[in-house]
């Protein structure tokens, strides 16, 4: 395997950044994850648009143009012989003597790209079974719209989920409303049959998969209600599912130990998964 680090491809096992990288010391950086279908990056532009925005919000310089970065990502996919999988990009503010404030003058941002294969057949089989989520209290900062590498609350939430046999944890805010998952956006098909997902004016990540799926949903004439929901509403919903570059569209059949309906993935989630994959391919 190979990884891209600051201008060149090196063997994955030997890929490294300096110990005084601000990503390592301060989580001062951002990332993106692309799904790879048939060797191609899914929703490429959407992820780039969000990357530039995350960098701008943190005043980290763009390390290179979109065209150049696209070449690097494609090369990472090619060198690792990824047909079906994921491509990861991380940009940090760079290497500088430890100081919370930005280095002045600015240093070059550090760029890391990796790509790995996934067993799509296995993920399809898993998705067909449906998965569980648990709820955890929202405890993240106020800028979840920035795709920051500071993921400690997300990591703790995901671990709590794993320890309870769930694939995802849903953060629940002070109002009792679900914000999003630790690494995905949260959706239900409510009692009226409308698709519900939280609006992105809230403190959540603007999921690229979420936006593409909204297009797919509109085109197929289904009703969308961008409104948050409670855990109780999810438990009594017709269906639930999560979206993200890793999970694509994954049906949820259990929320905090309560089965939804008959405990099997619903027709809407199954259909949307198929439509999303068809669109992304
Ligand atoms: N996570 N919300 C959070 C907190 C996320 O971390 C992610 C993605 C999403 C979905 O965003 P998108 O549809 O653009 O992938 C929502 C990536 C996959 C990860 O952390 O691995």
Hey, which bits of 16-163 come out as E strands? 29-37, 40-41, 85-92, 110-117, 131-137
Contacts with 37 (C-beta within 8 Å, 6 or more apart), sequence order: 84, 277, 280, 281
Q: What is the average pLDDT value for the chain, to the nearest integer?
A: 97
pLDDT at 41: 98
- Specify the CATH architecture of the domain 123-280: Alpha-Beta Barrel (3.20)
Q: Could you identify the atom of ligand 1 that is nearest to the CA of residue 246?
A: 18
The percentage of the chain sitting over the pLDDT mark of 70, rounded to a whole number, equals: 100
Average pLDDT over residues 163-173: 98
Average pLDDT over residues 143-154: 98
User: What spacing in Å lies between the alpha carbon of 30 and ligand 1's midpoint?
Assistant: 12
Give 67-117 pLDDT, tens digit per residue. 999 999 999 999 999 999 999 999 999 999 999 999 999 999 999 999 999
b (16+ CB within 10 A) / e for 68-104: ebeebbbebbeebebeebbbbbbbbbbbbeeeeebee
User: Is 270 among the catalytic positions?
Assistant: no
User: What spacing in Å lies between the alpha carbon of 33 and ligand 1's midpoint?
Assistant: 8
User: What spacing in Å lies between the alpha carbon of 244 and ligand 1's midpoint?
Assistant: 5
pLDDT of residue 257 exceeding 90: yes
pLDDT at 165: 97
Question: Ligand 1: which of 183, 197, 215, 272 to mutate, judged by most atoms within 8 Å of the beta carbon?
Answer: 183
Is the ipTM, as predicted for this complex, more than 0.90?
A: yes
Q: Residues lining ligand 1, CB < 6 A?
A: 33, 180, 183-185, 205, 207-210, 243-246
Q: From its phi and psi, is residue 27 left (phi > 0), alpha (psi between -120 and 50) or beta?
A: left
CATH number at 2-118: 3.30.470.10
Question: Ligand 1: which of 50, 151, 207, 250 to mutate, judged by most atoms within 8 Å of the beta carbon?
Answer: 207
Question: Ligand 1: which of 30, 32, 33, 187 to mutate, judged by most atoms within 8 Å of the beta carbon?
Answer: 33
User: What spacing in Å lies between the alpha carbon of 184 and ligand 1's midpoint?
Assistant: 5
pLDDT at 64: 97
Residue 150's pLDDT band (cuts 50, 70, 90): very high
Identified catalytic residue from 40, 81, 147, 227: 147
pLDDT of residue 135 exceeding 90: yes
Residue 279's pLDDT band (cuts 50, 70, 90): very high
Query: What residue's CA is closest to ligand 1, atom 6?
Result: 183
pLDDT at 54: 98
User: What spacing in Å lies between the alpha carbon of 207 and ligand 1's midpoint?
Assistant: 6
pLDDT at 281: 87
Q: Which value, to the nearest 10 degrees, does the dihedral of the CA atoms of residues 95, 104, 73, 121 take?
A: 60
Give 177-186 pLDDT, tens digit per residue. 999 999 999 9
Q: How far apart are alpha carbons 123 and 8 in whole angstroms?
A: 32
Q: Could you identify the atom of ligand 1 that is nearest to the CA of residue 209?
A: 13
Residue 42's pLDDT band (cuts 50, 70, 90): very high
User: What spacing in Å lies between the alpha carbon of 176 and ligand 1's midpoint?
Assistant: 22
Joined tokens for residue 46? 């959407």
Query: What residue's CA is closest to ligand 1, atom 20?
Result: 183
Hey, where are the domains in the chain?
Answer: 2-118, 123-280
């Amino acid at each position: 395997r190979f990884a891209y680090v600051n201008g060149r491809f090196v063997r994955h096992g030997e890929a490294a950044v300096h110990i005084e990288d601000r990503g390592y010391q301060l989580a001062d950086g951002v990332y993106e994850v692309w799904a790879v279908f048939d060797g191609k990056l899914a929703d490429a532009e959407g992820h780039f648009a969000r990357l530039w925005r995350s960098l701008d919000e943190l005043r980290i310089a763009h390390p290179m143009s979109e065209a150049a970065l696209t070449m690097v990502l494609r090369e990472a996919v090619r060198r690792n012989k990824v047909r079906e999988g994921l491509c990861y990009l991380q940009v940090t503010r760079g290497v500088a003597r430890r100081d919370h404030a930005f280095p002045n003058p600015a240093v070059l941002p550090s760029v890391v790209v990796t790509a790995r294969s996934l067993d799509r057949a296995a993920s399809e089989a898993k998705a067909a079974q449906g998965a569980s989520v648990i709820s955890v209290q929202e405890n993240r900062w106020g800028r979840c719209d920035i795709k920051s590498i500071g993921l400690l609350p997300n990591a703790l939430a995901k671990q709590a989920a794993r320890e309870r046999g769930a694939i995802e944890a849903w953060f629940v805010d002070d109002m009792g409303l679900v914000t999003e998952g630790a690494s995905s956006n949260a959706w239900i098909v409510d009692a009226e049959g409308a698709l519900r997902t939280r609006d992105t004016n809230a403190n959540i990540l603007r999921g690229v998969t979420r936006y593409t799926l909204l297009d797919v949903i509109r085109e197929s004439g289904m009703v969308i209600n961008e409104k948050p929901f409670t855990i109780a509403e999810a438990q009594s919903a017709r269906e639930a599912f999560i979206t993200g570059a890793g999970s694509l569209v994954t049906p949820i059949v259990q929320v905090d130990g309560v089965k939804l309906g008959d405990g099997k993935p619903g027709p809407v989630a199954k259909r949307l998964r198929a439509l999303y994959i068809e669109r992304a391919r």
